[in-house]
């Protein structure tokens, strides 16, 4: 997969709310980790660097956030699509988002690596559970 290759080279009512938040973060994290099969640790490392560099990134700071480039533009429920899409479809859409990020100069530099924003956000949520 393109994203895995890029990584290899270059998170009662109150109690119920906490459980739901953890389940959401866990689902989002699990979905992101599927993209980096075999390279999860590298993705987490890059994700940590991204969170350090851009701590207020809206995707990372929102437990329901998913990278816009990782879901089809017309998607009404991005988190649901992201967590339920077959891995091949998720990888294809994420690759499309990464290509778009490069062509529209939505990139981030992390310790000498230039990554598309979609890939950096995916790396960040890979370790966010």
φ/ψ (deg, to 5) at 8:
-60, -40
Q: What's the pTM?
A: 0.80
Q: What is the mean pLDDT of the chain?
A: 82
How far apart are the C-alpha atoms of 106 and 24, rounded to whole Å?
27
* Orientation angle between helical segments 13-35 and 87-103, nearest 10 degrees: 80
Q: Are 6 and 60 spatial neighbours (Cβ–Cβ below 8 Å)?
A: no
- Residue 35 is encoded by which pair of tokens? 């993209």
pLDDT tens sequence across 88-117: 999 999 999 999 999 999 999 998 989 999
How far apart are the C-alpha atoms of 40 and 63, rounded to whole Å?
19
pLDDT tens sequence across 20-64: 333 445 889 999 999 998 899 999 999 999 999 999 999 999 989
112: left (phi over 0), alpha (psi -120 to 50) or beta: left
φ/ψ (deg, to 5) at 114:
-105, 115
Vertex 121 angle, CA 119 and 124, to 5°: 110
Q: What is the pLDDT of residue 25?
A: 55
Q: Are 47 and 128 spatial neighbours (Cβ–Cβ below 8 Å)?
A: yes
What average pLDDT does range 62-85 have in this prediction? 94
pLDDT of residue 6 exceeding 50, the answer is no
pLDDT of residue 16 exceeding 90, the answer is no
* DSSP H or E stretch at residue 4: helix 2-8
């Amino acid at each position: 997969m393109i994203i895995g290759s890029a990584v290899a080279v270059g998170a009662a009512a109150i109690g119920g709310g906490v459980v739901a938040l953890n389940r959401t973060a866990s689902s989002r994290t699990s979905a992101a980790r599927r993209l980096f099969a075999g390279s999860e640790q590298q993705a987490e490392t890059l994700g940590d660097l991204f969170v350090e560099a851009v701590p207020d990134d809206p995707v990372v700071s929102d437990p329901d956030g998913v990278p816009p480039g990782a879901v089809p533009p017309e998607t009404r429920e991005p988190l649901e699509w992201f967590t339920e899409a077959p891995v091949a479809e998720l990888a294809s859409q994420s690759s499309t988002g990464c290509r778009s990020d490069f062509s529209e100069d939505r990139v981030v530099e992390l310790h000498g690596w230039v990554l598309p924003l979609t890939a950096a956000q995916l790396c960040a949520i890979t370790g966010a559970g």
